[in-house]
Structure 1
Amino acid sequence: MALIHARFDTSDPDQALAALRTVYPTVRVQDVPAGGGFRFTQHVDGDQDVTFARIRFGSVMDLASDLTDGFSIVHTLEGRYDNVDTGPSAGPSLWHGAVRSHSEDSRLLVVNVTTAAVERLAAEHLGAETAVVRFHGTAPVSAAAAALWSSVVDFAASGVMDDGEDELSGGFDLVRQQAFRALIGAALHAFPIEVVAGTVRGTGSLPSSVRRAVRFIEDDPGRPMSVADIAAEARMSVRGLQLAFRRHLDTTPLDHLRRARLAAAHEELEAADPGTGATVTEIAGRWGFGNAGRFSRAYREEYGRSPGETLRH
Structure 2
Amino acid sequence: MMHRTQRQIRTDEPSVAAEALSVTHVTHGLTVEDSGEGFAFEERVRGTALLSLESTRCTGTLSGAVEPGRAMMIVWVKSGSAVVDDNPVKVGRPVLYRQDPQRFRWVDVQHDVLRIDRTIVEQVAAERGDWAPGPLEFRPRHVPEGAPLAAWWLMVRSVAQEVLQGPADVPVERERELARFAAGGLLTAIPHWPVGQHEPVMASTARFARAETFLLDHATEQITVNDVAEAAGLSVRGVQAAFQRHHGITPTMYLRRIRLLLAREQLEAGDDRSVAEIARATGFAHLGRFAGSYRQEFGELPRQTALAARE
| Matching of residues 27-46 of structure 1 within 5 Å | 27-30=28-31, 32-33=33-34, 35=36, 37-46=38-47
**Percentage identity across aligned positions?**
22
Which of 130, 134, 159 does residue 131 from structure 1 map onto?
Answer: 134
Q: State the Cα RMSD in Å.
A: 2.8
> In structure 1, what is the equivalent of residue 15 of structure 2?
14
After superposition, residues 113-262 of structure 1 pair within 5 angstroms as 113-123=116-126, 130-162=133-165, 164=166, 166-167=167-168, 175-194=174-193, 196=194, 219-220=195-196
Q: Is the 8 A contact 2:95 2:143 kept in 1?
A: yes
The gaps in structure 1 that reach 5 residues or longer are 197-218, 223-313
Residues 167 and 173 in structure 1, CA contact (< 8 A), matched pair in contact too: no
- Residue 44 of structure 1: CA displacement? 0.6
Counterpart secondary structure, 1:131: coil
What does the per-residue CA deviation read over 1:175-231, in whole Å, with 9 as the maximum and x for residues that have no partner? 54323211111101111332x3xxxxxxxxxxxxxxxxxxxxxx4599xxxxxxxxx
The aligned amino acid for 2:133 is: T
Inter-CA distance 19–52: structure 2 relative to 1 (3 Å threshold)? same
1:159 alignment partner, SS class: helix
How far apart are 1:69 and its partner, in Å? 3.0
Within 5 Å, give how 1:270-281 maps onto structure 2.
none
Quote the Cα distance in structure 2 between the aligned partners of 1:26 and 1:84: 14
- Deviations 1:57-86, CA, capped at 9 Å, x for gaps: 121222222234333211111222222422
Question: 2:119 is matched by which residue type in structure 1?
Answer: A
- Kept in 2, the 8 Å contact 1:33–1:61? The answer is no
Which of 92, 95, 103 is matched with 1:93 structurally? Answer: 95
Q: Deviations over 1:107-137 (max 9, x none)?
A: 1111122322322433455677632121222
Contact 1:73 1:112 in 2 (8 A): yes
Paired positions, count: 195
> 2:53 corresponds to which residue?
52
Take 1:142 and 1:83, find their aligned partners in 2: how far apart are those partners? 19
Separation in 1, partners of 2:115, 2:81: 19
Partner residue in 1 for 2:76? 75
Label 1:106 to 1:124 Cα distance change in 2 as closer, same or farther (>3 A).
same
Q: What secondary structure does 1:78 align onto?
A: strand
1:2 aligns with 2:34: no
For residue 7 of structure 1, give the secondary structure of its aligned residue in structure 2.
Answer: strand
In 2, the alpha carbon distance for the partners of 1:117 and 1:21 equals: 25
Q: Provide, for residues 243-269 of structure 1, a one-character-per-residue CA deviation record: whole Å limited to 9, x for no partner.
A: xxxxxxxxxxxxxxxxxxxxxxxxxxx
Q: C-alpha distance in 1, partners of 2:69/2:171?
A: 30
Q: Which has the larger radius of gyration?
A: 1
Change (3 A) 1:150 1:27: farther
Letter in 1 for 2:181: A
Kindly tell me: are residues 31 and 55 of structure 1, through their superposed partners in 2, closer, same or farther at Cα, counting changes over 3 Å?
A: closer
Structure with greater contact order relative to length (CA < 8 Å, sep ≥ 6): 2
Deviations 1:133-188 (A, max 9, x none): 212223344421111101101101101214x5x347xx876554323211111101
Letter in 1 for 2:60: S
2:124 is aligned with 1:110 = no
Report if the CA contact (8 A) 1:17-1:28 is conserved: no
Moved more, 40-49 or 122-131: 122-131
Q: Distance in 1 between matches of 2:131 and 2:190?
A: 22
Look up the equivalent residue of 1:75 and give its one-letter code.
W
1:102 maps to amino acid = R
For 1:73 and 1:50, how far apart are their aligned partners in 2? 12
Which whole-Å CA distance do the structure 2 matches of 1:89 and 1:18 have between them? 27
TM-score (structure 2 length as normaliser)? 0.55
Instruction: Please give the TM-score of this superposition, normalised by the length of structure 1.
Output: 0.54
Query: Residues 20 and 27 of structure 1 are in contact (CA less than 8 Å); yes or no, is this contact kept in structure 2?
Result: no
